[in-house]
Amino acid sequence: MISSNLPALQVVVPLIAAPVCVLLRRGTLTWLLAWLASWSAAAISIVLLIRVLDQGTISYALGGWLAPWGIEYRVDAVNAFVLVLVSLVGAVIVPYARTSIGAEIRSEQHYLFWTAYLLCLAGLLGVTITGDAFNVFVFLEVSSLATYILIAFGNDRRALVASYQYLIMGTIGATFIVIGVGLLYLMTGTLNLADIAQRISEMPVDRPLLAALAFLTVGISLKLALFPLHLWLPNAYAYAPSVSTAFLAATATKVAVYLLLRFTFTVFGKSHVFDDLPYGEILLALSIAAMFVASLVAIFQEDVKRMFAYSSVAQIGYITLGIGLANTSGLTGSIVHLFNHAVAKGAIFLLLGCVALRIGQPALSQMAGLAKRMPLTAAGLVVAGLSLIGVPGTVGFVSKWYLVMGALEKGWWWLAALVLLSSLLAVVYVWRVVEICYFREPSKDLATANEAPLSMLIPAWVFVIACVYFGLDATVTSETAATAAKTLLESLR
């Protein structure tokens, strides 16, 4: 009974837990509930992934209403992978969050934080699992609204402005998506993604179809912060509470990338819409711009969190680059980088949260001598930083390996060179941090600081160790990603 309803439970568990938090209103109790809900969600997603890899796609009719009429939840290798990613990150962050939000958020608001957190988790999982276009929009809004709250919790007043900025941009994005979905519905008379895909494959390429593709692409690109639609991201990441930043950086943009994959491949893949459209080329150009411009901007940031926020924009460039390549290796690189970047950035933002716990949000100069006062935090930052560069033995290398292979298989030398050149920019901004942490005397802010508590260090180091473990033994992640990539490419014409 429970086992057959797992796809529904995946979303329902956190979705129900969220309002219960409001009823409980007690910080500790809500934390325990969030813990329970997020760990169950993680367990469910792992079971689903194993089942999908074993038996193939799972189709689940919500409420027993079959597909064209009811909402279908459809789990294949692609979204099972993303579900695991999102829910695992959510699960690891919860134990960490208690101490961190204790320092950064007023205690009477803690239950609200957990409510927003669970809603956001439910929304992201919902977007990922559903096979229904309108349902995508609904869950996207659930997660987005929760995200605005999570950002606005930041105790810097600029967090409100950042949240507002994201609200405007996010709403434009969501509107575009709903327009795109509306156009598709108008043309096909169905909201089921599989049915839409099947029907538009037989249609001629006309203006509504192009418009639908354009609205959806731009709308989703806003949410995933594709250059130059990334302007909301640096501020949002910089001023949100540490926990929110880590959670959003590791999950929210990844789910948006998943949507892009789903629409460009599964939905539009069989139609003729790409025939005369330089879609891949545009995506490649924007990705390359993201990799270089955002990395360059990152080099000149003083605020460490902002610096790594720009680094996220650059890393998203690698992900979309693989989508633009649209061959097995490139797409595998892109999908595996969803996971790889999530653990690396998750580690970095959690560790920065440890620093923030001691001295508040750090400027780069305030991190001087961090290695003397907080050796584990500093060491973790180095490892995760190496992963951003893509040094062999870390997860970043695995992604770059596939991306370079994807580029070379197409014979695009220059593209492989650009991917690797941009990694060198990461060396520059990562090494700024390394030098300051290790070869300066402790700053006066850090003079009396000591290492962060274990409740924060352990979750952060789970990500750090994941950076190395999945960098050395990448068979599981890359095989899953390769399966997902093949699933997506099968739906191309």
Partner 1 sequence: MNIADPQLALAIPAVGAVLIALCGRWPDVRETVTLATAIALLVVVASLAQLVFAGERPSVTLFSMLPGLSIALTVEPLGMLFGLIASGLWIVNSIYSIGYMRGNNEKNQTRFYVFFAIALACAMGIAFAGNLLTLLLFYEALTIATYPLVAHKGDPNTVRSARVYIGILLTTSIGLLIPAIVWTYIVAGTTDFVAGGILEGNLQGPAVGLLLGLYVFGAGKAAVMPVHRWLPAAMVAPTPVSALLHAVAVVKAGVFTIVKVIVYTFGVDFLFTQPSSSWLVYVAAFTIIAASIVALRQTNLKRLLAYSTIAQLSYVVMATAILKPLSEIGAAIHMVSHAFGKITLFFAVGAIYTASKKTEITQLRGIGRRMPWTMTAFTIGALSMIGVPPTAGFVSKWYILAGSFQADNYVALFTIIASTVLNAAYFLPIVFWAWFSEDTSEPDKQHGEAPVAIIIALTITAALTIAFFFFNGPALELESQLVGRQK
Smallest gap from Cβ 105 to partner 1, in A, equals: 37
Helix (H, G, I), strand (E, B) or coil at 303: strand
Closer to partner 1 by CB, 69 or 431: give it: 431
Residue of 461, 417, 383, 475 lying closest to 292 (CA atoms): 417
Smallest gap from Cβ 438 to partner 1, in A, equals: 8
User: ω before 392 within 30° of 0 (cis)?
Assistant: no
Count CB-CB contacts under 10 A for residue 231.
15
Smallest gap from Cβ 166 to partner 1, in A, equals: 34
Report DSSP state, residue 208. Answer: H
Residue of 339, 322, 335, 317 lying closest to 423 (CA atoms): 317
As to burial, measured by CB atoms within 10 angstroms (0-12 exposed, 13-18 middle, 19+ buried), residue 85 is buried
Closer to partner 1 by CB, 109 or 328: give it: 328
Smallest gap from Cβ 421 to partner 1, in A, equals: 7
Closer to partner 1 by CB, 424 or 458: give it: 424
Closer to partner 1 by CB, 188 or 422: give it: 422
Element (H, E) at 4: none
As to burial, measured by CB atoms within 10 angstroms (0-12 exposed, 13-18 middle, 19+ buried), residue 56 is exposed
- The span from the CA of 151 to the CA of 144, in Å, is 11
- The span from the CA of 25 to the CA of 110, in Å, is 8
Closer to partner 1 by CB, 68 or 392: give it: 392
Q: Torsions phi, psi of 307, nearest 5?
A: -60, -50
As to burial, measured by CB atoms within 10 angstroms (0-12 exposed, 13-18 middle, 19+ buried), residue 149 is middle
Closer to partner 1 by CB, 135 or 478: give it: 478
Closer to partner 1 by CB, 10 or 478: give it: 478
Binding site for partner 1 (CB under 8 A): 386, 389-393, 398, 400-401, 404-405, 408-409, 416-417, 420-421, 423-424, 427, 431, 435, 438-439, 472-475, 478-479, 482
Helix (H, G, I), strand (E, B) or coil at 363: strand
